[in-house]
A and B are shown apart, each in its own frame.
Chain A
Amino acid sequence: MPAEFDSAPKLAEYAHPERLVTTDWLAANLGRPGLVVVESDEDVLLYETGHIPGSVKVDWHTELNDPVVRDYLDGERFAALLGSKGIARDSTVVIYGDKNNWWAAYALWVFTLFGHEDVRLLDGGRDLWIAEGRELTTDATRPTPVEYPIVERSDSDIRAFKEDVLAHLGDPLIDVRSPEEYSGERTTAPAYPEEGALRAGHIPTAASVPWARAAAGDGTFKSRAELDAIYRGEVGLEDGDDIIAYCRIGERSSHTWFVLTHLLGFENVRNYDGSWTEWGSAVRVPIATGTERGEAPRRG
Chain B
Amino acid sequence: MSSQPLPQRLAETRDDFRALGVPDRLQLLLEFSNELPALPAHYAEHPDLLERVVECQSPVFIFVEVRDGAAHLYATAPAESPTTRGFASILVQGIDGLTPDEVLSIPDDYPQTLGLGEAVSPLRVRGMTGMLARVKRQLRAQLPG
Q: A interface vs B, CB < 8 Å?
A: 42-46, 48-49, 61-62, 98, 191-195
Cβ of B55: which chain A residues have Cβ within 8 Å of it? Answer: 193-194
CB-CB under 8 A for A61 and B57, given A44-B26, A44-B83, A45-B82: no
Number of interface residues of B (CB under 8 A): 28
Bound Cα distance A45, B119 (Å): 10
Query: Shortest CB–CB separation between residue A109 and chain B, in angstroms?
Result: 19
With A45-B86, A49-B82, A191-B59 already in contact, 15 other A-B pairs whose C-beta atoms are closer than 8 Å: A43-B58, A43-B84, A44-B119, A44-B124, A46-B82, A48-B26, A49-B30, A49-B33, A49-B79, A61-B120, A61-B123, A62-B119, A193-B54, A193-B56, A194-B55
How far in angstroms is the closest Cβ of chain B from A264? 29
What is the number of contacts between chain A and chain B, taking CB atoms within 8 Å? 57
Check if A193 sits within 8 Å of B82, measured CB to CB.
no
A195 — which chain B residues lie within 8 A by C-beta? 123
Q: Does B29 lie at the interface of the complex (its beta carbon under 8 Å from any beta carbon of A)?
A: yes
B121 touches A44 (CB 8 A): yes
Which has the most chain A C-beta neighbours within 10 Å: B52, B58, B119, B121?
Answer: B121
Q: Which chain B residues in 12-61 approach chain A with CB under 8 Å?
A: 26-27, 29-30, 33, 52, 54-59
Any A CB within 8 A of the CB of B109: no
Contacts of A43 on B, CB cut-off 8 Å? 57-58, 80-84
Q: Is the CB of A192 within 8 A of B57?
A: yes
Contacts known (A42-B57, A191-B59, A193-B55); A48 close to B27, Cβ less than 8 A: yes
What mask results when residues 104 to 145 of chain B are scored 1 for a CB within 8 Å of chain A, else 0?
Answer: 000000000000001111011011001000000000000000
How many angstroms between the C-alpha atoms of A85 and B126 in the bound complex? 28
**Contact residues in B for A193 (Cβ distance below 8 Å):** 54-57, 126-127, 130
Closest to A49 in B: B82
Chain A residues lying within 8 Å of B33, measured Cβ to Cβ, are: 45, 49
CA separation between A48 and B79, bound complex, in Å?
Answer: 12
Question: In the assembled complex, how far is the CB of residue B112 from the closest CB belonging to chain A, in whole angstroms?
Answer: 16
Q: Are A48 and B120 in contact (CB under 8 A)?
A: no
Tell me which residues across on chain A come within 8 A of B86, comparing CB atoms: 45
Which residues of A are found within 8 Å of B79, using beta-carbon distances? 49
Pairwise interchain contact B127-A48, C-beta atoms closer than 8 A? no
For A48, A191, A193, the residue with the greatest tally of chain B CB atoms inside 10 Å of its CB is: A193
Q: Are B82 and A48 in contact (CB under 8 A)?
A: yes
Q: Chain B residues near A49: list those with CB within 8 A.
A: 30, 33, 79, 82
Quote the shortest CB–CB distance from A77 to chain B (angstroms): 15
Q: How far is the CA of A293 from the CA of B106 in the complex (A)?
A: 48
A46 partner residues in chain B, CB cutoff 8 A: 80-83
Of chain B, the residue at the smallest CB distance from A60 is B121
6 sample A-B contacts, Cβ–Cβ < 8 Å, listed by A number: A46-B82, A46-B83, A49-B33, A62-B119, A193-B126, A193-B127
Q: How far is the CA of A107 from the CA of B81 in the complex (A)?
A: 20
* Residues in A whose Cβ lies below 8 Å from that of B130: 193
A195-B122 Cα distance, complex, nearest whole Å: 12
- Say yes or no: A45-B54 contact (C-beta < 8 A), given A62-B119, A193-B127: no
